[in-house]
Chains A and B, each alone.
Chain A
Amino acid sequence: MKVPREFYKGPKDIPHEEELSPGAPLCAGCGGLMTLRLMHKVLGENVVIVNAAGCMTLMATYPYSPIRSSWLYTTMGSVAAGAQGIRDALDIRRAKGKLSEQDEMKVLVLAGDGSTYDMGLSATSAAIHRRLDFWYLCYDNEAYGNTGFQMSSASPFASRTTTSPIGQQEPEGTFQEKKDMFELWRAQKPPYMATVSSHEVVDLAEKVKRSMAIKGPKLFLALAVCPTGWGFDPRMGDELAHLAVKTGIWPLKEAVDGVVRHTLIPSRFLPVEEYLRPQLRFRHLFEPAPHTEAMQAIQQKVDRYWEQVRKDEPAASPALNRGTSGT
């Protein structure tokens, strides 16, 4: 099931202009960079990217910057406050006639999951509360990537990070469940929020485009495939992003004023295993012996999620009724 497309029929309709120059010193195959590139294409020029400490901070490393618009690196915990200061100042200058129409800017926060789910959560929640007119892109690589892949509260259950290693006490590695950031944000009923995948380019572009007609906080949560941290061959990056959607692990949805609808539901769900297996961070679920219990727990959680969706969104049922394939 796909919601009807309003703006982009296919990938070729995605704007051809590149808002970022090539030459960013990020890993080959970085999903975070890919997501930013696509989102920025739709937002167009005159964007100021307000960045929290993380991998993307190194995009602009003196004296080079791939950003053709503007950039402000702030801190890990206060990036949304940086967006607030800029937005407010632009509004003040605009109101006083000191900022022309063409000097107007879109304010885009660029933050990792560590910043979004952990340290920066209160600053972001406050910006949503203040109804700040901005975009927020969380590129979620599910750990503190820049410091070498330590556990964050976005790290999924049973993933290995350098601070949730596999041990006798915790055979799963990360035993905590990933925080449900979408629901945390949704509790504040922002006017627009969505999950996106770098694989589903048109879905992503449509959402960004839809958000552009809306004033207030516009929040994007992107699963950002990370070859370096997750441990897979970079060429598999986009396929892995695809598998996250096809297994139902990464649901694509949006919420307007807190009302959710799913935007793309696979006609048939693949077993979660297919997504987990290619990644080194889940290797311990398969080797030396299969860790069926953990795998079942992951599958069940996904199944339960979609069962709930079937109840909440009957419109989406035709696709869902074909059922999940289970383990």
Chain B
Amino acid sequence: MVRRMLTGNAAAAWGARLAQVEYVPAFPITPQTEIIESLATWFADGTLSGKFVTMDSEHSMVTAAGAAAATGVRTFTATSSQGLVYAMEALYTVSGWRVPFVLVNVSRGLSSPITLGPDHNDVLAARDAGFIQIHVETCQEVLDSVLMAFRIAEDVRVSLPTLVNLDGFFLSFTREPVEIPDAKLVQEFLPAFHPQHPVFSGSQSLAQGVAVLDGATYSYFRYQMHRALENALEVHEEVAEAFSRLFGRRYRALEEYGMADAEIVLVMAGSFATKGKAAVNRWREQGRKVGLLRLRMLRPQPAADIARSLIGRKAVGVIDQNISPGLGGILYQEVSGALASAGERVPVMRSFIGGLGGKDISQGEFDWVLEALDGAKPSDGPVPCQLLFTDAEYEQVRMALSIAGKSQGGTAS
């Protein structure tokens, strides 16, 4: 075991390296490219044995990844943003084959307008694709989650591709001290891949991805996929337990921070949760009972745990780093859905949108959110989502608009 300064991208590559991946189909896209560059080097110098192949698109890349997994090799790949949505058809296709492999997505806002900063619209667009989704907060968690992801994906109760999501820039290009687990221990944790159903091979006739035109049979296979994803919750618990025994770090589907007696709760996902934790600490110092719930596992959704964690709180605010135009925050809907059948209600639920395209969420904005939650009453009536966006930022945008020749005409609100 060594501790080193690693970026999130390097941690992802190290995860794949320690997992002894055999096959990496790849395609470049910022801010993910460093992951595949590292892996290309390791295959070239013999650190990894197998094959690295530069594909022609993410659509091809995911197809090749799925096909290789269906042929029985441990496969890893990575993408981001436009690449993930370009691959969308292939994501649904390969998950239907029920093949395990790991896909790292480095979150980045979607075009148009094209941008480089992170938000979660890319990865959330893939939330129904039949992939397990793990959203991480730190560089250490990136590495650990890649290892755990392989073990979950390959478990016979699951047998599905798994996506590990890290935020562009805030993790991908940010170095932190990361403990690189001992390779021997990793082998103990994650033995070589032994496929749990037939793979392509001359002595076994296998037709895979067959058309199913009958509604009942189609329902059966789709629901089995749902069941497999549900199983991933239990499998994740076991895998997390095994991981902690070997490496000392214990992960859960939901991370509870300052939740013991919290009355006001922030719900967040990804690396911006770190900023939320700072806000919780500051408010705690003033004796205010606030906490944070981080959604680590998004698919399968740990609905019962979400309900258990939130029921009984006075106010819950979900900060979404995404926007579903015409709806608002996606995770707000997900959390509300998890609570809907729980019997009891959280009196105040509010939706906030922040961090789109990597825009910062400042501590001032967190304070504003917490005050808003503190002052909110159940009787406030339907409350639309609130964009976290300051006057100063608005001024700055207006300046840009005027430079873009838009000082004339049009009216602002």
Contact = CB atoms under 8 A, between A and B. Distances in A.
Chains A and B in contact, CB within 8 Å: yes
Interface of A: 45-46, 48, 50, 57-58, 60-63, 65, 67-75, 77-86, 88-93, 95-96, 98-99, 102-105, 122-123, 125-126, 130
Interface string B77-89: 0000000000001
B203 A86 contact: no
Interface string B163-207: 000000000000000000000000000000000000011111111
B60 to A, nearest CB: 3
B207 A71 contact: yes
Contact of A81 (B49, B50, B63, B206): B63
B55 interface: yes
Given A48-B200, A122-B57, A126-B56, A82 B67 contact: yes
B73 A93 contact: yes
B64 A82 contact: yes
B240 interface: no
Given A86-B67, A86-B200, A92 B56 contact: no
9 contacts: A60-B210, A70-B200, A73-B211, A81-B67, A85-B65, A85-B75, A86-B67, A92-B50, A126-B55
A125 to B, nearest CB: 8
A69 B205 contact: yes
Interface in B17-60: 22-23, 25, 49-51, 53, 55-57, 59-60
Contact of A75 (B63, B200, B206): B63
Given A60-B211, A61-B210, A85-B23, 13 more contacts: A50-B67, A62-B211, A70-B207, A74-B63, A85-B67, A85-B68, A86-B68, A88-B51, A89-B73, A96-B22, A102-B202, A102-B203, A123-B56
Contacts of A82: 63-64, 66-67
B109 to A, nearest CB: 25
B28 to A, nearest CB: 14
B205 A67 contact: yes
B207 to A, nearest CB: 4
Contacts of B49: 95-96
Nearest to B55: A81
A74 B209 contact: yes
A61 B57 contact: no
Instruction: Name which of A45, A63, A73 has the most chain B CB atoms within 10 A of its CB.
Output: A73
A85 B207 CA distance: 16
A75 B25 contact: no
A177 B70 CA distance: 40
B56 A60 contact: no
A80 B65 CA distance: 12
B71 to A, nearest CB: 3
A116 B203 CA distance: 30
B374 to A, nearest CB: 51
Contacts of A123: 56-57, 59-60
B214 interface: yes
Nearest to B213: A61
Contacts of B56: 81, 122-123, 125-126
B59 A62 contact: no
A272 to B, nearest CB: 37
Contacts of A77: 59, 89
A75 B209 CA distance: 10
The 5 closest A-B pairs by CB, nearest first: A85-B67, A89-B71, A126-B56, A81-B60, A85-B64
B207 A65 contact: yes
A71 B210 contact: yes
B51 A92 contact: yes
B208 interface: yes
Contacts of A80: 60
Contacts of B97: 72
Contact of A85 (B25, B205, B210): B25
A40 to B, nearest CB: 13
Given A61-B210, A88-B53, A126-B55, A105 B202 contact: yes
Contacts of A79: 63
B212 interface: yes
A62 to B, nearest CB: 4
A81 B64 contact: yes
Point out which of A65, A74, A85, A103 has the most chain B C-beta atoms below 10 A from its C-beta. Answer: A85
Nearest to B64: A85
Contacts of B336: none
A78 B213 contact: no
Contacts of B89: 75, 77
B51 A91 contact: yes
B60 A126 contact: yes
By CB atoms of chain A within 10 A, which of B73, B204, B210 has the most?
B210
Q: Which of A81, A84, A86 neighbours the largest number of chain B CB atoms within 10 Å of its CB? A: A81
Given A81-B59, A84-B55, A86-B68, A92 B205 contact: no
B111 interface: no
A73 B205 contact: no
A34 to B, nearest CB: 21
B61 interface: yes
Given A57-B211, A75-B59, A88 B205 contact: no
B93 interface: yes
B51 A78 contact: no
B64 A92 contact: no
B253 interface: no
Nearest to B203: A103
A93 B67 contact: no
Nearest to B208: A72
Contacts of B55: 81, 84, 126
A84 B212 contact: no
A125 B205 CA distance: 29
Nearest to B52: A88
A126 B207 CA distance: 25
Contacts of A102: 202-203
Contact of B71 (A65, A73, A85): A85
B217 interface: yes
A197 B341 CA distance: 63
Interface in B223-267: none
Contact of A93 (B70, B72, B204, B211): B72
A115 to B, nearest CB: 13
Given A88-B53, A93-B73, A103-B201, A62 B217 contact: yes
